[in-house]
Amino acid sequence: GGQVKELVDKKYVWMELEDGFPPRAAVAFLFFSLVKLLEKMELIPLQKKIVDDVVANLIKKAGSIAINVEAKKNLAKTAAEEINNKIPVIYSLNPRLAPLAYRWKCQFNENAKYPAFWNTFPEMNHNEIEGWEAKKLPAELMPIFLSGFKCKNCYSKRLQAFKKLLEQQDRDFLEFYVEGETVIEQVFSLIYLGDMISYYLAILQNVNPTSIDYIDYLKENI
């Protein structure tokens, strides 16, 4: 607003975002605003069909994991219940999914006020996998695998081998898959699922998913 808006009006293509959202809750506004800007600048063709498909896929997803859907039929609620009182360690099956694993980790941290960690295949195979050999590994650690994207080398053999090690330890793990036809649909399907899992985990932990008291405290004390 103000003088900045006046300057932008004169020189730049711009879009105004809705306010009132925590940055982590505005990822769709930020992404699709960027798409629209690129369209206006004629750097990419019109993406209406792709965007419409993403929205349709998310609406369908929302209907299946909404708060009014009972837990036994609700993937997000079921996952939150399984993760509750465990420590999630989120692994993406390939580096292209790594940002999604990081997103899930951050959402568990900020929304549920819950510890979580992340890494990606094949990187974790070079070092972190050895940590799972610890003799007194906490039983609460729970691997979560994010899988998807069609590619020639998605490290599925590495994943299956790692799962066998976990099964030998009688360790629980979860696996989730992308949904949709396009990469954007698939990305947002897992973003939304992770967000809702973190929301239901916040409810189970009896915490406010929008507050960031520790972050605010840190800002006030540096």
For residue 165, which amino acid is it?
L
Per-residue pLDDT of 134-182, as tens digits, reads 988 888 999 999 998 666 566 888 999 999 999 999 999 999 999 998 9
Per-residue pLDDT of 69-117, as tens digits, reads 999 999 999 999 999 999 999 999 988 899 999 999 999 999 999 999 9
State how many domains the chain has.
2
Q: Are residues 86 and 161 in the same domain?
A: yes
Q: Are residues 92 and 192 in the same domain?
A: yes
C-alpha distance across the termini of the chain, in Å: 29
Would residue 93 count as lying in a domain?
yes
Would residue 65 count as lying in a domain?
no
Q: In terms of residue numbers, what domain contains 90?
A: 71-205
Q: Are residues 128 and 167 in the same domain?
A: yes
Residue 37, pLDDT score = 85
State the CATH number of the domain containing residue 114: 3.40.50.10490
Q: Are residues 27 and 76 in the same domain?
A: no
Query: Which residues are registered as beta bridge partners of 142?
Result: 88
Q: Are residues 29 and 131 in the same domain?
A: no
Q: Are residues 30 and 86 in the same domain?
A: no
Q: Are residues 89 and 184 in the same domain?
A: yes
Report residue 87: phi and psi, to 5°: -115, 105
Identify the helix (H) or strand (E) that includes residue 119. Answer: strand 117-120
Residue 150, pLDDT score = 65
pLDDT of 12 > 60? The answer is yes
Position with higher pLDDT, 17 vs 200: 200
Residue 13, pLDDT score = 66
Would residue 118 count as lying in a domain?
yes
Q: Are residues 24 and 83 in the same domain?
A: no
Would residue 59 count as lying in a domain?
no
Cis preceding-peptide flag for 122 (omega within 30 of 0): yes
- Stretch 8-19: mean pLDDT: 72
Reference 22, options 218, 221, 222, 215; nearest CA is: 215
Residue 217, pLDDT score = 97
Q: Are residues 93 and 192 in the same domain?
A: yes
| Ordered alpha helix ranges (H), 69-124 | 75-83, 98-112
- Are the CB atoms for 181 and 53 separated by under 8 Å? yes
Angstrom distance (rounded) from CA 111 to CA 198: 6
The helix/strand count (H/E) of the chain reads as 9, 4
Would residue 24 count as lying in a domain?
yes
- Are the CB atoms for 186 and 93 separated by under 8 Å? no
Per-residue pLDDT of 40-70, as tens digits, reads 889 999 999 999 999 999 999 999 999 999 9
- Are the CB atoms for 193 and 180 separated by under 8 Å? no
Q: Are residues 23 and 91 in the same domain?
A: no
Q: Are residues 22 and 124 in the same domain?
A: no
